[in-house]
Amino acid sequence: MWGGRFDQPPAETARAFTRSYPVDRRMYREDIVASRAHAAMLGRRGIIAAASADALTAELDRLLDELTAAGGPPPDADDEDIHSFVERVLTERLGDDGRRLHAARSRNDQVATDFRLYCKGLTLRLAFALLDLLDVVVRRAGDEAHTAAPGFTHLQAAQPVTLGHYLLSLYEMHARDVQAALHAFTVADVCPLGSGALAGVPFDIDRDGAADELRFSQVSRNSMDAVADRDFVGALLHACTQLTGHASRWCEDLVVWSSPGFGLVRFDDRYATGSSMLPQKLNPDIAELSRGKAGAVMGAAAGWHATIKGVPLAYGLDMQEDKRTVFRVEDDVLPMLAALRGALDTLRVDRGRMAAAAQAGHPEALEIADYLTERGAPFRDAHQAAGRLVLLAESQGVTLGQLDDAAFAGVDDRLPGEVRARLDLARMVARRTSLGGTAPTRVLEEAGRARRWLTWQRQHLEGLAVRGLPPQLQPRAPSPAAAGADGDAA
C-alpha cells in the first residue's frame, strides 16, 4: 500500500512488530461498511466512474456476506491490517477498480471512521448487557422488599435495611453506567471520513452524504482533530471503568456475605467452583473474578491515557493501541456482565440469618434517639442517652430491648413504655419511609419505577441502534445474558 517510496521491504521483525491485522481483524464489518459508503460517494461525485463504484459496492457487499458466514476474516492472512486485507481482496477480484477505492481517503481517516463505528456498536452492546443485568436486579429487589438485612458502614453493623433496598442501590449504580455508555456513544457519533491524512482532500467529496449513509449524526469540523481525536475511546473506557468498579463493590459484598462467618447468601452450584484439594469448598469465583476484571479494566484505561498523552498532533502509530485496549476491555466486561446476571439470578438468600445479622450491634439505638428527639430532646442529648443504654446492654450481655424499665428510666424518664414497641426489627425498617428510604412500601414503589425505566430505556436503545448504526452493523443477537435465567432463586 505504501511501498513505492521504498527500495527494500520491511525487515520481518519490524513488520511483525508493526502489523495490527491479528488485532483489528474483528473490525471487518466496520471497514467494509465504511468503504462501501466511501465508494458510493466517489461514484456520485464523479471522482471515479459510476461503473467502478457499482462494482466496488457490489463486491464489498459480497465480501461482507462471505466473511460473516465464515465467522470473520481468516486468522492466518498475511496482511498488515484489516484495511489492507479488504483492499487486497478487492484488487484481486476487481483489478484496477479495487485500487481506485482509496481515492480521497487516508488510512488515518479510514481507521478513525471504522473505529468510531465499532465503538458506537460496543457502547450499545454494553448498555443492552447492563439492562439484562438490571432486569434481574429489579425483579429480585421486588421479591426481597420485605426481607430484613444488615446495613453496614465501615463493614460494621449500622442500621437494618431491606434486601430489596440494597438491590435497588445496585440498580442506581448501573443505571448511571447505562447513561455513561450512552454518553460514549454520543462522543463517538462524529464522522471523520473525508479528513484525509490530516489536511483534508482536494476532491469535491460529499462528507455529509457519506456520514448519513453511515448514520453518524454529524461530521468533524477540523481535519487535524478528526484523525487525532480519541476522546471517544476515553469516554468508552471511562464507562467500563465505572461499571466494573461498581460491580466490584457489590461483588465484594457477596464474597463476604457468602463466607461461613456470615452465611447470608449461597451461590448456586452453576455459578461457583470447588477446590482441587478441599472437597467441602464452594467458592464465589464469579464475584472474585469480577473484582479482578475491575482492576484489569482500570489498568487498561490508565495505560491508554498514558499512551495518548504523548502523541503529537495529528497521528502516530502508538494510536493503534486503542483497539488492543478496547478489545481487551470488551472481552472482559461483556462476559462478566453475563456471568453476574446468572449468578445474581440464582443466588440463594438465607432470610433467617439476614434478619439475625440485621439485629446485631444494637441497631435499636438510633430508634431510641429518634424517639427522644420527637419528644423534645436535642438530638445530641438523645444520642448520648442512647449510647449510655448501649454501654449498659453490653455490660449485661443483652440487647437494648431486653433491658428493664428501670434501666431505661435511669437514662431518661421519657423512655419506658411505648418506645419498646418501636424496637421491633420489622417496625424499625418500615418507619424509614422518606423518599429513597428502605421501607418496604418505598422499595416496591421504586422497583415499579425502575421497571418502567428499564422498559423505556430498552426501547430507546433499540431506536438508537436503528438510527445510529448502518443496517449491517445492527446488534445481531441478544447477549448471552439475555437468553434468560438458568434457574430460580430460593
Asked if the 362-430 domain carries CATH number 3.40.140.10, the reply is no
Measured between alpha carbons, how far is 232 from 325 in angstroms, rounded to an integer?
13
Instruction: Say which of 154, 276, 395, 434 is annotated catalytic.
Output: 154
For residues 476-488, give the mean pLDDT. 40
What are the backbone dihedrals phi and psi of residue 90, each rounded to the nearest 5 degrees, phi first?
-60, -40
**pLDDT score at 135:** 98
- Please state the length of the chain: 490
The C-alpha cell at 257 is 456475605
Per the annotation, the verdict on 154 as an active-site residue is yes
The residue ranges of every structural domain in the chain are: 11-103, 108-203+221-355+446-476, 362-430
| Opening angle at CA 16, ends 65 and 97, nearest 5 | 40
Instruction: Tell me which of 123-127, 377-381, 475-479 is least confident.
Output: 475-479
Nearest to 214 by CA among 470, 391, 483: 470
Measured between alpha carbons, how far is 293 from 174 in angstroms, rounded to an integer?
16
Contact 291, 248 (CB under 8 A): yes
Measured between alpha carbons, how far is 424 from 399 in angstroms, rounded to an integer?
12
Per the annotation, the verdict on 362 as an active-site residue is no
**pLDDT score at 465:** 96
pLDDT in tens, 392-438: 999 999 988 889 989 988 888 888 778 888 889 999 999 999 999 99
Q: Report the mean per-residue pLDDT for the chain.
A: 92
Measured between alpha carbons, how far is 386 from 383 in angstroms, rounded to an integer?
5
Instruction: Say which of 217, 259, 275, 460 is annotated catalytic.
Output: 275
For residues 2-31, give the mean pLDDT. 82
Query: Higher confidence at residue 18 or residue 313?
Result: 313
Same fold, 11-103 and 362-430: no
Grid cell 471523520 in the structure block, residue: 192
**pLDDT score at 2:** 54
**pLDDT score at 480:** 37
CATH number of 11-103, picked from 1.10.3720.10, 2.40.37.10, 2.40.50.140, 1.10.275.10 = 1.10.275.10
Res 484 pLDDT > 50: no
**155 burial type by CB count under 10 A (0-12 exposed, 13-18 middle, 19+ buried):** exposed
Instruction: Tell me which of 235-239, 341-345, 360-364, 453-457 is least confident.
Output: 360-364
% of the chain surpassing 70 pLDDT: 95
- pLDDT band at 12, cuts 50/70/90? confident
pTM of the model as a whole: 0.92
- pLDDT band at 489, cuts 50/70/90? very low
Fold of 108-203+221-355+446-476: Fumarase C; Chain A, domain 2 (1.20.200)
Measured between alpha carbons, how far is 279 from 460 in angstroms, rounded to an integer?
48
Res 273 pLDDT > 90: no
What are the backbone dihedrals phi and psi of residue 38, each rounded to the nearest 5 degrees, phi first?
-65, -45
